[in-house]
Structure 1
């Protein structure tokens, strides 16, 4: 009895394109010239000024406290702790508090761990291996609890700082306390808004979702606009669920939920609030986090090893470059990030070079770090490459607060370039295992 055409199609072998090597497929995607156009494209964002000022205030207050207490040599570690303020920028306050505490503990722990390993006299292969494991582990954590940007990159930066100089075990407590000071200041600054505008994050999320839904309604054939609207609405409902579980914000959250329901056609009833632990538990079902963590671990280790063999001064920065490149979820994102980070870092290093050679002194350097940090946070959402023009000198000036400034601009450029290249190669070479071919479960006649 002959098979119907639909049944024959369902049982026939996969087409050759599906049997193509994933390495060859990824390589073709990497070489797509559209990535260069994407790397030059600006993105429209809103509500960045307040978040930028929060981060700038956290770093500024931390530097002042470290310096006026007579510990200018530890100011760089304190400022690293203050970079905890980069996380949870638009999250509701209860989730933001938990997230800041988690990230702050991880930042401080990373500095202590790499400082202790270096003080113990571990060989470079061991210390850089630990940095790579931290990069992969933090990538997994960020994926599971859904931290968003900047992902694992800042923690790797902190871990690399622990390798700086020739620390002894006596440096553990001062470095750890300095980083903890920065974390505490960041938490106070980033959570202070709850006292005056506790529903601020929810109002912002609903406004963004409403605008996205209106844009999708005007162009229903635009799948990108529809997808962005769905994501914005889902995020707004999650934020509202968090606020609805707290007495002070519950009434406003329910009113905003009604507004969102009218604008986007969603149910007025909100989903249950998820803690960070519950979010991580749900995210475990997504096997993609494991692949991303493995890619980052391998890329960070390879990039750091290449930089070490080449004699670059800060091989941990190569691991950070690879980590930053792989924070995205697609090949295009990785390639675009690599292009923007490599080219932007080179230009940023050229900007930083005369600033480092000028030996500006502590207070002038601290002021520049704060200004550059604020500008970075305003720009980074619009264009990552342009933000590297301020991220690079900011990071190098922050590093110089600890007394290390000679040759670091060149090291930063070289290490970042190595990390970006290795990150892209990892996207090409490392893939999930392919399952056996399956026959379609629904055979139509």
Structure 2
């Protein structure tokens, strides 16, 4: 029997597949982005306004960094979202406090970068275990990098940490605010998406039918999970039963074509609770994924790529090596070579162009109020665009991140823009290299 091909050589050949470039240029459909984008903008606006109101504009960057907790759980049912946002907030605050404390202690930069790499790997593994979805661990690394801004005293750690935590709390409140007026909104959206996906699968041509059917089946399964959560809660139970009946009819249409899983209900009937899966809690996700290898492999790749990225940029004398670690982490928020290459192309190219856009904004030396307005506007636009094309979103993410950084003090516009672009490209390249070189250990056949 001929030896199986080396996974390194296979991955290296896969990296050169022209399909990656085509995928990196493709615009994806997206829906229901406006409400999520407005929530993100509202969280940023509140923390920035609060910073100005208490006369601590110098803490605005750290408060707005904590408010990025709002990026998680956009479409989760509210009870799951409450737990997820709280957990993410805890991880955010811990990551920031850890690196800020090391900075206050005067730890060598190489040590702090090593800790950031470990934080990146652990956050990647945790996001995979809990199935947080986008943006994954990359924003946690951004939070950890925020703790490296020095020089820093212990009183500064306390002040910045408090501002960071307040931003996270405000993000939780804004993220949960919809529960007060439309507690069943995530379930309604999930059922609508399932119906749309089934409709598209029925209209798909022969060449696209299998993929469209798989997408529809996944959308139906996702809607059933959301409904199961709402069905177990008193306030949303009645609406969940009505929506479950609608979903049952949708699922039967899909199954009538032999493409989905049957649901034990007829159109127009209200299915009993046992036709839906059990409510999925965060700890259930951890139990379900604990014995899989994906989260271990992903965490290992991120640690190694982040260590090399941080070390290489530090040795080269670049001013923000943690940004290279962020680039590597963002590239590796997926399991496949295809995902890593596409993400690297989009993040690297988008960041370079975004840095060019950020340069004149930084050079304009906008007032605090004007900077805050631009940051909020960029965050809203980012959330509208990011689901459609990650590379285009980097055109707004990069200026937004650099403007947030400028809130913490004076920066060199050209220098910080160039550093962001170069560090990100280095991190993205090293992220792809980690996918090529690091693979699960293969056991010899007995």
TM-score of the superposition, structure 2-length normalised?
0.93
Matched, 1:287 2:287: no
Matched, 1:410 2:418: yes
Q: Distance in 2 between matches of 1:130 and 1:289?
A: 19
Question: What SS does the corresponding residue of 2:55 show, helix, strand or coil?
Answer: coil
How many residue pairs get aligned? The number is: 423
What is the match of residue 430 of structure 1?
438
Contact in 1 for aligned 2:191/2:220 (Cα 8 Å)? yes
Q: Distance in 1 between matches of 2:231 and 2:121?
A: 34
TM-fit CA distance, 1:404: 4.2
Matched, 1:124 2:109: yes
| 1:125-166 Cα shifts (integer Å, max 9, x gaps) | 210000001101111111111110000011100100100121
Q: Structure 2 vs 1, CA of residues 404 and 199 (structure 1 numbering), >3 Å: closer, same or farther?
A: same
What is the match of residue 249 of structure 2?
262
Question: What are the equivalent positions in structure 2 for 1:128-167 lying under 5 Å apart?
Answer: 128-167=113-152
Q: Distance in 1 between matches of 2:84 and 2:404?
A: 24
What is the match of residue 234 of structure 1?
221
Give 1:347's match in structure 2, choosing from 343, 348, 353. Answer: 353
Question: What SS does the corresponding residue of 1:163 show, helix, strand or coil?
Answer: coil
Matched, 1:276 2:282: yes
What is the match of residue 52 of structure 2?
67
What is the match of residue 58 of structure 1?
43
Matched, 1:39 2:45: no
Contact in 2 for aligned 1:139/1:292 (Cα 8 Å)? yes
Contact in 2 for aligned 1:220/1:226 (Cα 8 Å)? no
Question: What SS does the corresponding residue of 2:409 show, helix, strand or coil?
Answer: coil
Q: Distance in 2 between matches of 1:248 and 1:62?
A: 30
TM-fit CA distance, 1:220: 8.0
What is the match of residue 9 of structure 1?
none
What is the match of residue 5 of structure 1?
none
What is the match of residue 10 of structure 1?
none
What is the match of residue 196 of structure 2?
211
Question: What are the equivalent positions in structure 2 for 1:79-228 lying under 5 Å apart?
Answer: 79-219=64-204, 221=206, 222-228=209-215
Q: Structure 2 vs 1, CA of residues 42 and 120 (structure 1 numbering), >3 Å: closer, same or farther?
A: same
Q: Distance in 1 between matches of 2:203 and 2:244?
A: 22
| 1:211-232 Cα shifts (integer Å, max 9, x gaps) | 1122223348522212211211
Q: Distance in 2 between matches of 1:312 and 1:137?
A: 25
Which stretch has the larger CA shift, 207-216 or 42-51? 207-216
TM-fit CA distance, 1:184: 1.3
Q: Distance in 2 between matches of 1:132 and 1:430?
A: 16
TM-fit CA distance, 1:180: 1.1
Q: Distance in 1 between matches of 2:291 and 2:224?
A: 21
Q: Distance in 1 between matches of 2:319 and 2:217?
A: 46
What is the match of residue 361 of structure 1?
367
Consecutive unaligned residues of structure 1, counting only runs of 5 or more, are 1-12, 439-445
Q: Distance in 2 between matches of 1:226 and 1:301?
A: 41
What is the match of residue 255 of structure 2?
none
Q: Distance in 1 between matches of 2:140 and 2:411?
A: 21
Contact in 1 for aligned 2:354/2:395 (Cα 8 Å)? yes
Q: Structure 2 vs 1, CA of residues 241 and 220 (structure 1 numbering), >3 Å: closer, same or farther?
A: farther
Question: What SS does the corresponding residue of 1:409 show, helix, strand or coil?
Answer: helix
Q: Distance in 2 between matches of 1:81 and 1:31?
A: 38
Give 1:49's match in structure 2, choosing from 34, 56, 63. Answer: 34
Q: Distance in 1 between matches of 2:338 and 2:284?
A: 30
TM-fit CA distance, 1:105: 1.1
Question: What SS does the corresponding residue of 1:91 show, helix, strand or coil?
Answer: coil
Q: Distance in 2 between matches of 1:314 and 1:273?
A: 43
TM-fit CA distance, 1:436: 2.2
Q: Which runs of 4+ in 1 moved over 6 A?
A: none
Which stretch has the larger CA shift, 418-427 or 280-289? 280-289
TM-score of the superposition, structure 1-length normalised?
0.93
Question: In angstroms, what is the RMSD of aligned CA positions?
Answer: 1.2
| 1:254-281 Cα shifts (integer Å, max 9, x gaps) | 2111111111123441111121112111
Matched, 1:379 2:392: no
| 1:79-106 Cα shifts (integer Å, max 9, x gaps) | 0111111000000000001011011111
Contact in 2 for aligned 1:60/1:370 (Cα 8 Å)? yes
Contact in 2 for aligned 1:318/1:419 (Cα 8 Å)? yes
Question: What SS does the corresponding residue of 2:351 show, helix, strand or coil?
Answer: helix
Contact in 1 for aligned 2:103/2:150 (Cα 8 Å)? no
